[in-house]
Each structure stands twice: as C-alpha cells, then as structure tokens.
Chain A
Amino acid sequence: MRYAIKLQVNGDPYEVLVKPSTTLVDLLRDVLHFTGTKVGCNMGECGTCTVLVDGQPATACLTLAIQCQGREILTIEGLSVNGGIHPIQKAFLDNAAYQCGFCTPGMILAVKALLDVTAQPSDQVIKEALAGNICRCTGYLRILDAVRALRSPVAEQEGAHAIS
C-alpha cells in the first residue's frame, strides 16, 4: 500500500505518496532531493542523518516517513539565512570543525536542537547533546570549540572564571 502524507520540509509544504517502510531519510534524499542529510550506518547509531522533527532531533533513518504526517522537518538545507550561512555553520567554519564533512549536517542540526532550548550549555551539556553523533576524522575537540563559540558572552565569562 501507498499512503498520501502531508508534511513541511524547511518551511515548504509537500504532499507525497509513501510506503509504510519508507524512512524519512529515503523520502528526503531520494524523493525530495534534500541530499544534505547523509546516510551512514542506516541503523540509528552514527547520527549523520539527524534532522529536526517539530524542533526535536530525530534519526531520519529510523523514522518512518508516514510517522511524519503533519510534522515540520528541518534539514541542513533549511538553515540558510537569506541565502547566507547560519551562525552555527559559520562557527563550524571558523573553528575548522569538519574535515570530510559527512557528519557535519547531523552535528549542526544536533547543535541547533541544543541551542534552541539551552542558550548557554556547559561543556558537559554540549557533549551529552552530541553523544551519538559520530565523527571519524575531525575529532571532537574542534566541534566542541565551535559550539563553545556559540555560547552567549555571559556563559563565556562564567566558563573563564570557573577555569581560573
């Protein structure tokens, strides 16, 4: 059976026919051509397919497309602001927080989900929010640096004070 579902992707409405077994990541990449979302393990373990569903991080390879009826999906393509890059993307660039870039879309969306609810996350909170987003080449320290740079100035000062 195929089912018609309606959903929003990056603010635009779509109506598509899906099989029950079609995953969100397959819908995004193969049907709607949002190929910024990557498929790594396809088993929910690597985090590179992370997108936001109604603002919450989701593993697009383990989410059935049909479960996204009526939901709002945000992919890396939807982050751009007036054609330019998003501040999180800029922070990743400034801190050289990527090499091959395969994990980057998932990392950036996981960071967005975190910063949307926690403006000044501690290092521990950042690490917990990114747990399960796996990077095999950049190393996590530069990614951590990028997120630290996005903390509000108040948090920076507190952090500096705590270290000294």
Chain B
Amino acid sequence: MEDQEYLIPETLQEALKLLRQYGERARVIAGGTSLVIFMKQKLFVPRVLVDIRRLPELQGISYQRGVGLDVGAGTSLFELETSPVVRERFPVLASMLAQIASPRIRCQATVGGSLCHGEPAADPGPPLMVLGATAVAMGPKGERTISLDSFFQGYFQTALAPDEILVRIRIPDLSERSGCAYAKYALRKALDRPMIGVGAWVRLDRDNSTCAEARLAVGAVSPIPVRPREAEQSLKGQRLGEDAFRRAAELAMRAVEPVPDLHASGEYKREMVGVFTRRALAAAVAAIG
C-alpha cells in the first residue's frame, strides 16, 4: 500500500475530525497488535490510519470508592494489570489480564483496542460485562455511554459508529457482599485465546448466605459473549453451593450454541461451558470480600 497514510492527531477533537474527513477509508489504531496482523494478512488494510494511542483524553486510571474505576481506552493491558488500585479493588481484572497473550503484547495492546477489535475469542468482555461496565464513546454528536452488554454486536463488530472513538471504560465499584471471577479454558498458559471464558458476579443477601443477584457471561463460544439469563435467575434466592452451581451450569449450557472449530466440537465446548460456569461461580463466591 504505497499510498497508505498515517496521521497522528494531538487531541480527541482532531482525531474525530479526521475520521469525519476520511470516512470509510480511515481506521483508528492504538497498540496495533491486532490490526497490524490483519494488515499483514491483507485481511483489512485501511487507507488512512489515525493513531490515537497517546491522545491525552484516552489516558489514566482513576478510582473512587463507591463509584468505581475509570480507565482510559488508551491504557495498555499491562498498565491496567499492574495498577495498584486494580490489584486491590478488582483482582479479577488483574488476573484476567495476566492471562492475555504475553507480557510484551500486554505492554503494547490497549484496553480500548481489545474491546473495539470485537474478536470473539477475547478475555476482557465477559468479566467486564458481569461487573456492569460501560463504554464511553465520543462522536460528532458528543458523548454516548454504551453498556458492555450491548457493545459487542457480532463477529468483529461493535456498537461503535465509524466516526466514534471509544474514550473510557467505567466499571462500577463492587458492592458489599459481592464477588467476581473469571474462569478461562485455554490449552496453553500463555499466548492462547480462550476456548471458553466465563465471567461470574454474585451478590449475597443481607443474611450473607443466599444469593440476591447473579450475573454470568460466557465468552468465546459464539460471535459475541452470551449472558445466560435463565442461569442467572436460577441462582436468585438460592444458597450458593454445588447444587445451585450445577443447576445454573446446566442452564448456561442450554443458553449457548458453541461454534465447533479445530480445537473441539460444539458438543465438547457445551460440556466445558458447564464446567467453567461452575468454576467461575465457585471462585466468585470465594472472592466475596
């Protein structure tokens, strides 16, 4: 691509202007670890690359007790993983991030890029969904907040419009008596995408033994992560133990339609959705602080 252009705007407004100006020919690039592979394989070669990695509006991690975590979309996965406040308040995110790719990829790849790529077999979606995270996007009409539940739209597709940029990710603080976990099934410990990734979040009732609310998200088995609502409902009012986990796992297995691939059949993946749903739920209960 001799005529490929590379533009480095200095502000978010400048970046948005470039996206409007170049329309479909332009694509934003941040860490580039996914897009550069697409470019090498000639799967997708944007005519104009707009580099947003260092835009000041996309930087920084802040935390406010009772409100939550606010993460700039340009934050590297490594920066988020090693952030003291993330390690203390959201250990589920730190451990999930540590399971992505390799340390050097995590130094390059950004939180926003990972979400915007819309790769089905990605780790961050499920845990962020069950934590109730929202994406803050900026476009020509101003700012818009998108629940992570509706952010993923299809295979490599998100709710972002072509002229919008993901600016921040907001994660509400974990309420009292709640816990969250992520259970990943991959064949290798490093540099492997999840075959299945289950995020689980549970909140106990005031009695500290029955479940007031539960959220589950099953990633990597279909084009977008699935919230198995019946499985979530089944946990409500239950004592959180093996029996309740087993019932929820069976409902989660019915809620997914796993895509078979070279690693495993759909049937096997469905079975593993059950296993990893149980593990994620048990770990979420154990994580209640």
- List the B residue with the shortest CB-CB distance to A2: B2
In this assembly, does B101 line the interface, its C-beta being within 8 Å of a C-beta of chain A?
Answer: yes
Q: Which residue, A23, A45, A131, has most C-beta atoms of chain B within 10 A?
A: A131
In this assembly, does B206 line the interface, its C-beta being within 8 Å of a C-beta of chain A?
Answer: no
On chain A, the number of residues with a Cβ less than 8 Å from chain B's Cβ atoms is 29
In this assembly, does B87 line the interface, its C-beta being within 8 Å of a C-beta of chain A?
Answer: no
Determine if B2 and A19 form an interchain contact, defined as CB atoms under 8 angstroms apart: yes
Per-position binary interface string of chain B over residues 93-115, scored 1 when its CB falls under 8 Å from any chain A CB and 0 otherwise: 00000100111110110000000
Determine if A131 and B102 form an interchain contact, defined as CB atoms under 8 angstroms apart: yes
Q: Which of B35-43, B162-170, B258-266 contacts A (4 or more CB under 8 A)?
A: B35-43
Q: Give the residues in chain B near A1, CB-CB below 8 Å.
A: 2-6
The B-contacting residues of A in range 32-63, CB under 8 angstroms, are 42-45, 47, 50, 56-59, 62-63
In this assembly, does B191 line the interface, its C-beta being within 8 Å of a C-beta of chain A?
Answer: yes
Determine if A129 and B103 form an interchain contact, defined as CB atoms under 8 angstroms apart: yes
Determine if B37 and A57 form an interchain contact, defined as CB atoms under 8 angstroms apart: no
In this assembly, does A30 line the interface, its C-beta being within 8 Å of a C-beta of chain B?
Answer: no
- List the B residue with the shortest CB-CB distance to A117: B82
Chain B interface residue number, banded? 20 to 34
Q: Which residue, B33, B36, B103, has most C-beta atoms of chain A within 10 A?
A: B103
Complex Cα distance A19/B105, Å? 22
Q: Give the residues in chain A near B39, CB-CB below 8 Å.
A: 21
Task: Please pick, from B2, B6, B37, B102, the residue contacting A47 in the complex, using a CB distance under 8 A.
Answer: B102
Complex Cα distance A15/B51, Å? 20
Q: Give the residues in chain B near A59, CB-CB below 8 Å.
A: 33, 102, 104-105, 108
In this assembly, does B91 line the interface, its C-beta being within 8 Å of a C-beta of chain A?
Answer: no
In this assembly, does A67 line the interface, its C-beta being within 8 Å of a C-beta of chain B?
Answer: yes
Complex Cα distance A93/B107, Å? 29
- List the A residue with the shortest CB-CB distance to B46: A20
In this assembly, does B161 line the interface, its C-beta being within 8 Å of a C-beta of chain A?
Answer: no
Q: How far is the CB of B50 from chain A (nearest CB, A)?
A: 11
Determine if B104 and A58 form an interchain contact, defined as CB atoms under 8 angstroms apart: yes
Task: Please pick, from A21, A67, A69, A132, the residue contacting B104 in the complex, using a CB distance under 8 A.
Answer: A132
Determine if B53 and A110 form an interchain contact, defined as CB atoms under 8 angstroms apart: no
* Number of A-B residue pairs with CB-CB distance less than 8 Å in the complex they form: 83
Q: Give the residues in chain A near B8, CB-CB below 8 Å.
A: 69
Q: How far is the CB of B194 from chain A (nearest CB, A)?
A: 16
Task: Decide yes or no: A43 and B37 within 8 Å by CB, A64-B32, A132-B105 being known contacts.
Answer: yes
In this assembly, does A66 line the interface, its C-beta being within 8 Å of a C-beta of chain B?
Answer: yes
Task: Decide yes or no: A67 and B32 within 8 Å by CB, A58-B108, A131-B191 being known contacts.
Answer: yes
Complex Cα distance A88/B2, Å? 41
In this assembly, does A128 line the interface, its C-beta being within 8 Å of a C-beta of chain B?
Answer: yes
Q: How far is the CB of A26 from chain B (nearest CB, A)?
A: 11
The B-contacting residues of A in range 114-164, CB under 8 angstroms, are 128-129, 131-133
Task: Please pick, from B3, B45, B104, the residue contacting A57 in the complex, using a CB distance under 8 A.
Answer: B104
In this assembly, does B190 line the interface, its C-beta being within 8 Å of a C-beta of chain A?
Answer: yes
Q: How far is the CB of B248 from chain A (nearest CB, A)?
A: 32
Extra 6 A-B pairs, beta carbons < 8 Å, given A64-B6, A132-B101: A21-B39, A57-B107, A59-B102, A62-B37, A132-B190, A133-B102
Interchain residue pairs with CB less than 8 A apart (15): A1-B3, A19-B1, A19-B4, A20-B49, A23-B36, A42-B40, A45-B191, A58-B107, A59-B104, A62-B36, A64-B32, A129-B103, A131-B190, A132-B105, A133-B102
Q: Chain A: residues with CB nearer than 8 A to chain B? A: 1, 3, 19-21, 23, 42-45, 47, 50, 56-59, 62-64, 66-67, 69, 110, 113, 128-129, 131-133
Which 9 A-B pairs have CB atoms at the shortest separation, nearest pair first? A132-B102, A131-B190, A20-B6, A57-B104, A56-B107, A20-B4, A132-B191, A62-B36, A132-B190
